[in-house]
Amino acid sequence: MKQEMITVKTPEGLVLKVPAHVVATTFVAAALAHIGVVHTLPALAVAEPVASEQAIPALGEYWTGQGGHNGGFVPARDGVPAHYLIFAAQDVGDRAWGRRGEESGATSKVDGHANTQALLTEGNHPAATACAEFQADGHSDFYLPAAAELYQGWLNTPELFAKDCYYWSSTQRSAYGAVGLFFNDGAQDYGVKTTELRVRPVRRVFI
């Protein structure tokens, strides 16, 4: 896949071409600020992205070395940089969400990692704990997906999931329930926290 470049032309006629994935507002501002003093920019030490565009497998395919299957691209949002979701190759059984009758800080609809960290801090959340303890291909940063992340799994890779049961997300609905998803038809519903639903770990590959 051809790498996307961004071209910036200054008032003095200097043309800058930079890979799109490394362009940041601070970099552009700094580069333009220096052009008035020197007409050549110093060499940039750009860190290589974790995910190479040439190495990205098709949706649903196993991503060698990344612990699971490519669940699709997620743009930067809510302070989380752009990344790909990696769904573990297998479920980790049926688990309760935990702590019925208590409010949880795991309320994000899109950030399952933040939700899972909140659940682990609170303790006694079996589904989140099972995901956090899961390891594959040397990676131990798996978590219980948020409602939107789980729904992305149904949109992009439904063949990876069982169709006869609900899967827990890490998104709380109330003190008594949390969001679950039925992979047969993509229906989202609210399950009682003591109910044991299927659990699938997920992690991120940043780009």
What are the strands, taking DSSP E only, across 89-154?
Answer: 94-96
Q: How far apart are CA 121 and CA 125, in angstroms?
A: 9
Taking the chain (207 residues) in runs of 10, the rounded mean pLDDT of each run is 48 47 40 35 40 79 97 94 98 98 98 98 98 98 98 97 98 98 96 98 96
Segment holding 74, helix H or strand E: strand 68-74
Concatenated DSSP letters for 145-190? PPHHHHHHHHHH-GGGS-SSSEEEEEEE-SSSEEEEEETTTTEEEE
Tokens of 74: 């997620």
Distance between CA 49 and CA 73 in Å, rounded?
14
Instruction: Tell me the whole-structure pTM to 2 decimals.
Output: 0.76
**How many angstroms separate the CA atoms of 111 and 105, rounded?**
12
Residue 88 contacts residue 142 (beta carbons within 8 Å): yes
**Residue-wise pLDDT tens digits, 164-182:** 999 999 999 999 999 999 9
pLDDT of residue 51: 57
Span between the terminal Cα atoms of the chain, in Å: 15
Q: 29-68: per-residue pLDDT in tens?
A: 343 333 343 333 333 333 345 555 558 999 999 999 999 9
Of 73, 56, 66, give the one whose Cα is nearest residue 149: 73
* Farthest-apart Cα atoms in the chain, separation: 66
- Contact status, residue 131 vs residue 140, Cβ threshold 8 Å: no
